[in-house]
Amino acid sequence: MASPLTSTDAPPLSLSGDYLDRLMRRESFSALWPLFAKATKPAKEMTESFSALVHLRSLMKRVDACRVLHVGDGAHARSAALFSLKTAAHNISIDPLINEPLVSAWRDEFNIQRFEWRKGRLEDHAAELNELPELPVFVTFVHAHVHVDLELSRLRWDAAYTLACCYPTRQLTQQFTPYRSGTDLNVLSVGRDFQLLINPQSARARLLMGVR
Ligand SMILES: C[S@@+](CC[C@H](N)C(=O)[O-])C[C@H]1O[C@@H](n2cnc3c(N)ncnc32)[C@H](O)[C@@H]1O
């Protein structure tokens, strides 16, 4: 028999501040704040990145060490920063707009581990990223202004999370059947439709789906 939903995984029926509360209650919030404080709408940005963490973490728990590529992570690499503080994954942020002096000063000030970046478009770094030592690879596209299916075709990947804003037909897959999808009412922005994808070509697909 399926186990009943707990209060933390039951989807909210209307917009919810749950992600914000969960973030702000933790000590790690003080390290995150300098990056998010620079946003015009910090609550929006925090809940978008936290949505990626919540949905991907359910799959990340099914493997040991892993790498997360954060594509279109913006100037402040906020999703990579969040995952570096909240998970044991190795994180790489990829965006042509990355503010390298700012993220490197933040990393050094808070002694952040497993946090790297590549300044540039994914297509310029995909070959090198695919050559990195073999590990399960997760990908985030948090309001990334990219064509998700095209960018995934460049990568060796196991699972991905995408959150759509202005270009839903490109930011949501047209190619894969999502493992999970929906409207995340904990995301405090207008674009809150998300998909969680498992690569059907991945040798870990069954493991990630929890199929023995
Ligand atoms: C709306 S911003 C989102 C930034 C960040 N994820 C956030 O939510 O604050 C879209 C980002 O996609 C990035 N982008 C566009 N094309 C890209 C590409 N080919 N590879 C990597 N990033 C790209 C842009 O530079 C921009 O920072």
**CA dist list (Å): 128 to 50, 57, 69, 118, 122:** 27, 25, 12, 10, 10
pLDDT averages per 10-residue partition of the chain, 212 residues: 48 87 95 94 97 98 97 98 98 98 98 98 98 98 98 98 95 98 96 97 97 83
45 lines ligand 1 (CB under 6 A): yes
Show the domain range for 95. Answer: 38-208
Query: For residue 104, is it within any domain?
Result: yes
Is position 135 within any domain? yes
The tokens of 189 are what?
A: 């922005």
Residue 24 placed within a domain: no
Question: What pLDDT is recorded for position 18?
Answer: 95
Residue 12 is assigned to a structural domain of this protein = no
pLDDT number for residue 9? 58
Of 49, 82, 95, 123, the one to substitute when testing ligand 1's pocket (max ligand atoms within 8 A of C-beta) is: 95
| Packed helices 29-36 and 100-109: angle between N→C axes, nearest 10 degrees | 160
The pLDDT assigned to 12 comes to: 78
Residue of 69, 73, 83 to mutate, ligand 1, most atoms within 8 A of C-beta: 73
What is the reported pLDDT for 7? Answer: 46
**45 assigned to some structural domain:** yes
Residue 10: per-residue pLDDT: 67
Looking at the CA of residue 97, tell me the nearest atom of ligand 1: 25
Tell me, what's the pLDDT at 2? 41
Would you say residue 194 lies in a domain? yes
Q: Is residue 28 part of a domain?
A: no
Beta sheet of 137-142, edge-to-edge order:
115-119, 90-95, 67-71, 137-142, 159-164, 193-198, 180-183
If you take atom 6 of ligand 1, which residue's CA is the nearest one?
73
Q: What is the pLDDT of residue 6?
A: 47
For helices 78-86 and 42-60, angle between their N-to-C axes, nearest 10 degrees: 50
How far is the centre of ligand 1, averaged over its atoms, from the C-alpha of 6 (Å)? 34
Threshold 0.85, pTM exceeds: yes
3-state secondary structure the chain: CCCCCCCCCCCCCCCCCHHHHHHHCCCCHHHHHHHHCCCCCHHHHHHHHHHHHHHHHHHHCCCCCCEEEEECCCCCCHHHHHHHHHCCCEEEEEECCCCHHHHHHHHHHCCCCCEEEEECCHHHHHHHHHCCCCCCEEEEEECCCCCHHHHHHCCCCCEEEEEECCCHHHHCCCCCCCCEEEECCCCCCCCCEEEEEECCCCCCHHHHCCCC
Indicate the top mutation candidate among 44, 146, 150, 151 to test ligand 1's pocket, ranked by most ligand atoms within 8 A of CB: 146
Domain assignment present for residue 183? The answer is yes
State the Cα–Cα distance between residues 193 and 178, nearest whole angstrom: 12
Retrieve residue 93's tokens. 């942020």
Q: Is the distance from the beta carbon of residue 191 to the nearest atom of ligand 1 less than 6 Å? A: no
CA 63 to chain centre: 16
Total domain count, the chain = 1
Distance 79 CA to ligand 1 centre (A): 11
99 Cβ partners below 8 Å, 6+ apart? 75, 76
Distance 176 CA to ligand 1 centre (A): 22
Whichever domain contains 99, its CATH number is 3.40.50.150
